[in-house]
Homo-oligomer: A and B are copies of this chain.
Amino acid sequence: MQELLNKYAELKAKSKAFGFAMWMISWDAETEAPHGSMEYRTKQVGVLSSEIYNLRTSKDTIELIYALHEKKDELDQITKKEIIEAKKEVDKIVKIPKDEYIAFQMLISQSSQIWAQAKAKNDFEAFRPTLEKVIAFSKKYTEYLATDTLKGYDILLDDYEPGMTQKEYDAFFDTLRKDLVPFALEVSKSKKRFHDGFLKLHYPREKQKEFVEYLIDVFGFDRNHGVLKESAHPFTSGVSTKDVRFTVKYLEDFFVSSIFAAIHEMGHAIYNQQHDPKLDDTFLGGGASLGIHESQSRFYENVIGRSYAFWQTHYPKLQSIFPEQLGNVTLDDFYQGINRVETSLIRIEADELTYPLHIMLRYEIEKGLINGTIEVKDLPKVWDDLMMKYLGIKAPNFATGVMQDIHWSMGLVGYFPTYALGTAFAGQIHHAMKKDLDIDQLVKDNNIKAINAWMKEKIHQFGALKLPLELIKDATGENFTAQYYVAYLKEKYSNIYK
């Protein structure tokens, strides 16, 4: 046994080190690598991926994982969980031909730069061949990994959120459709007048940056173990509790979007920073699942960031940075403005209420792409049709339509639905937290650290030690339900639109 564990420790150290290198290269590629360096970098990424693949799929590794899995009940809690997950990965990865795996790694190491360039030029055709390759690989992936119980799009969905398949998501979206959508659409058609002209003013990048730097301290993101930077699309990327990085994109003509995106990413980042540090040397860092991760980002962004209590304390600071734009805007007008419900084109700029509609659209598209009822070349038209159907609006160009998101260019298919699921998790967490804390008062007192502490105890510390639905149940005392989320939204927006 000790011999097996020694071998496993060595394998783990190598995997972590290679993973660190790939993380570093990817962070650089997303934030500052020069365009002309792509081809050279891709070549190196190909070689490194091949090394990682060899390490993970070597006969020695497979035998080791299976041997440890046989004796899993003799292992400590962390190692046992790792081995259960590792066996799943080994079961999987041996089914994918090596050359296809490497080709895909090389593809996605450059595809998000191709996407960014094509998006900047509003040129779907420049991106199409790349996206076709991503979808083709995703389909082949589901074929290689099909089992008796899981096939097609379900494979991808379960990959991103263990336990969730089309059956569960269809049911989940049906609930939202029934309970939330009518309310959201009613609100979005409200004739209530808002004094929200301030939203459309020009807010210089440097000043926005100043406010985001201020927010970092308000939310307690640990700068000594993190980095803030800019990129084409905001994201968070943590390699351990000691190094968690997130990015913002400053939109000078839509500053609300930049600020809430920054708070959103900080939610992800604080989650990563608050894992038990002993998970740093394991494969269980990085969070329980995408849905749980999104519950954290949405909680910080919406429940805290868009609350009246939050701006009671921090609006004067924002006014002092933007005296010209906000000097004459009252707190109430500001609060209503940032919570205005309006059907809009861009997912990441959508309000809290209509956001799930954007996800439903993507969910249907992905389902069609993987199940073969939609082809990549038809995407622009499909997109327009669904936007019209769900939101009643049409994007004037690809950059604000079908090409707005980075995800597919990164090979992430099956990922979007977790966003909607995460908001529902956040609602349930909020309901549970209210039993322990006076959230509004803490936020008003600029004591978000107390909220962070609750999150750490109930959610953050565990990393991937627990499964998503297990974590939700343990943290809230109930099985997952979307009812608290719907109730929270109805209460909040009924007040604003009363």
Contacts and interface: CB of A to CB of B under 8 A. Distances in A.
A35 interface: yes
Contacts of A33: 227, 243
Interface string A32-48: 11111101110111111
Contact of A34 (B22, B28, B44, B223): B223
Given A32-B229, A37-B243, A47 B17 contact: yes
A21 B43 CA distance: 12
Nearest to A25: B24
A35 B227 contact: no
Interface in A6-65: 13-14, 16-18, 20-22, 24-25, 27-28, 32-37, 39-41, 43-48, 51
A36 B225 contact: yes
Nearest to A31: B32
Contacts of A226: 34
A17 B51 contact: yes
Contacts of A227: 32-34
A36 B27 CA distance: 18
Interface in A190-233: 222-227, 229
A242 interface: yes
Summarize A's interface: helix, strand, loop or mixed: helix
A37 B20 CA distance: 12
B36 A222 contact: yes
Interface string A226-247: 1101000000000110110000
A342 interface: no
A280 interface: yes
A183 to B, nearest CB: 43
Interface string A169-187: 0000000000000000000
A16 B224 CA distance: 32
A225 B37 contact: yes
A243 B44 CA distance: 13
Nearest to A281: B43
Given A28-B28, A229-B32, A47 B243 contact: no
A234 to B, nearest CB: 17
Contact of A36 (B22, B37, B51, B242): B242
A47 B13 contact: yes
B25 A21 contact: yes
Given A40-B242, A240-B40, A48 B21 contact: yes
Contacts of A240: 37, 40
A24 B36 CA distance: 16
A201 to B, nearest CB: 23
Given A14-B47, A44-B16, A47-B14, A37 B229 contact: no
A218 B40 CA distance: 26
A280 B36 CA distance: 13
A44 B41 CA distance: 20
Contacts of A35: 224
A51 B14 contact: yes
Given A39-B242, A243-B40, A225 B24 contact: no
A41 B243 contact: yes
A21 B33 CA distance: 14
The 7 A-B pairs with the shortest beta carbon distances in the complex, nearest first, are: A17-B47, A37-B243, A21-B21, A36-B224, A20-B44, A36-B225, A40-B242
12 contacts: A17-B47, A20-B25, A20-B41, A20-B48, A21-B24, A24-B28, A27-B28, A28-B28, A33-B227, A37-B225, A39-B242, A40-B243
Interface of A: 13-14, 16-18, 20-22, 24-25, 27-28, 32-37, 39-41, 43-48, 51, 222-227, 229, 239-240, 242-243, 280
